[in-house]
Amino acid sequence: MEVIVREVCKSYSGRQVLDRVSFTAGPGVTCLMAPSGAGKTTLLRILLGLERADSGRVLGLEGRRLSAVFQEDRLLEHLNARENLRFVLGGAYDEDAARTLLEALGLASAGDAPVSTWSGGMKRRLSLARALSAPWDLLALDEPFTGLDGENRARAIACIRQAAVGPVLLVTHDLADAADLSAKIVRL
């Protein structure tokens, strides 16, 4: 599967945020890099169907399943880790698969504690677990390593590498993130 972005433009109140952005993302990780405010998150929101481009085209997403880690964690704070995963997966929830993923991300010891009691890094890893556990054809990751220490960043990278059989779009400011994921770099 490939996602093709052609000549995408987007403005807000007359300020051009995306100006004729074009690239192709195939299997594996494609890293979108640019300074803050340069439209990386806006581009992800367009790809996810949360915003419309002013012009240009996105091809390859018709009828595809999309999953994402947003800049905000967007977790159900009153639920625990397994309940957050169950919410996303509904009847497709698999207790063994959930346990394996939570262990891989270093969250097995969180037990039944509600997410509201967790640290920021734990919440970030659970956000990643939710995105990885949902069936997807395109995975969009907006700064997924924010708040993670070295050990937990390595855990998250290992999980993403293992899952990256389809296109993964990664927004980051850190070249090390792109290098550790063997990512193709697209500069906006």
The pLDDT tens digits for 150-176 are 999 999 999 999 988 889 999 988 899
User: Look-up: residue for tokens 């790809």?
Assistant: 47
Q: Supply the range of the domain harboring residue 178.
A: 3-187
User: Look-up: residue for tokens 């952005």?
Assistant: 21
The pLDDT tens digits for 35-62 are 888 899 999 999 999 999 999 999 999 9
SS3 124: helix
Pairwise CA distance, residues 140 & 172, whole Å: 11
DSSP-assigned letter for residue 155: H
For 12, half-sphere exposure in the C-beta direction (CA atoms, 13 angstrom radius) is 8
Please report, for the domain that includes residue 101, its CATH number.
Answer: 3.40.50.300
Q: Which two three-digit tokens encode residue 148?
A: 């993670």
pLDDT in tens, the chain (188 residues): 899 999 999 999 999 999 999 999 999 999 999 888 889 999 999 999 999 999 999 999 999 999 999 999 999 999 999 999 999 898 899 999 999 999 999 999 887 899 999 999 999 999 999 999 999 999 999 999 999 999 999 999 999 999 888 899 999 888 999 999 999 999 98
**Largest pairwise CA distance in the chain:** 50
Q: Report how many domains make up the chain.
A: 1
DSSP-assigned letter for residue 118: S
